[in-house]
Amino acid sequence: MKLSAETFRLKPSGAIDLAKAPTRTEPLAATKEAYAEAMAAHAKALDALQRRLYANGAHALLIVFQGIDAAGKDGAIGHVLAGLNPQGCQVMSFKRPNAEEFAHDFLWRAARATPPRGMIGVFNRSYYESALITRVHPDLLREEGYAKPPADLDAFFVERLRSIHDFERHLDSCRTRIVKIFLHVSLEEQRKRLLERLDDKDKNWKLALADVEERKRTKDYWKAYEAAFAATDRSHARWHVVPADDKHDARLIVGQIVVEALDGLELSPPPQDAAKKRELEEIRAALKN
């Protein structure tokens, strides 16, 4: 199949049934060699585009990764973005908020972590967690200072998603391009990956008994994601649902999405005014002499 980010973007309505959405796609690389070549091509393209983004200095790119446990977020970030210059890229992992973060509004820590213009920012999970985990476990809102969960939870999360929509629209108006990626894995594939972590001592640290309990709520999480997609999938911040049961295919798709997002910015070097041109001529003359 011809690889295109458009294939994996949500329809304009943002409506999707994750229980029926595919978690596998037609194989994108027939051999390991073909996969390596495709990844290398993405790395080369991303390197050139990152240089142009930095030199241009007028835009930023924010890549938001979401997915249930063991969806492959860490692997996608590590493999797809491995070739980027670390000086032009920053990664934020959204774990449980600390006391200071709980004391602020739920978007505060995200706003502080957005990339400056010229940079690429990556959110491993994101501000969406405040409309996902708290929707599935509303008692957690007590940590945000609520004495008890709101009586009308649906209305509460409609408003929270509206805040997210407005936040993303604000970032876009300030020239931060937002790309949102949901890595979609089946429950069976998730089970296999969790067992692999159990058998790998180097990955045991990623496991907790709560992971097994959360598996029982996967369909609740999917419903929360569906609501988030419908409320926040807009032209300025599109959602991509990536079939992620096959890690290689998922990484190739993610790479294509990021390449197209950067390429779509139509980056060009900063324009040179008369003063800059004179300065460059003086530099040339000095170096020749």
**Residue 238 vs residues 26, 27, 90, 211, 234: alpha-carbon distances, Å:** 23, 24, 21, 29, 5
> CA-to-CA distance for 183 and 79, rounded, in angstroms?
15
Diameter over CA atoms, the chain:
77
The DSSP-derived string for 139-204 is GGGGGGT-SS--S-HHHHHHHHHHHHHHHHHHHHHTTEEEEEEEEE--HHHHHHHHHHHHH-GGGG
pLDDT, one tens digit per residue, over 257-274 is 999 999 999 888 777 788
Nearest to 42 by CA among 232, 257, 279, 238: 257
Nearest to 226 by CA among 82, 39, 63, 18: 18
pTM for the full model? 0.93
Under the banding of pLDDT at 50, 70 and 90, the label for residue 1 is low
pLDDT, one tens digit per residue, over 159-211 is 999 999 999 999 999 999 999 999 999 999 999 999 999 898 888 888 888 88
Which residue has 């493999």 as its token pair?
79
pLDDT, one tens digit per residue, over 69-127 is 999 999 999 999 998 999 999 999 999 999 999 999 999 999 999 999 999 999 999 99
3-state class (DSSP) for residue 62: strand
3-state class (DSSP) for residue 90: strand
pLDDT, one tens digit per residue, over 224-243 is 999 999 999 999 999 999 99
pLDDT, one tens digit per residue, over 238-259 is 999 999 999 999 999 999 999 9
> CA-to-CA distance for 11 and 110, rounded, in angstroms?
26
Tokens of 247: 């890690």
Structural domains of the chain, ranges and CATH numbers in brackets: 5-288 (3.40.50.300)
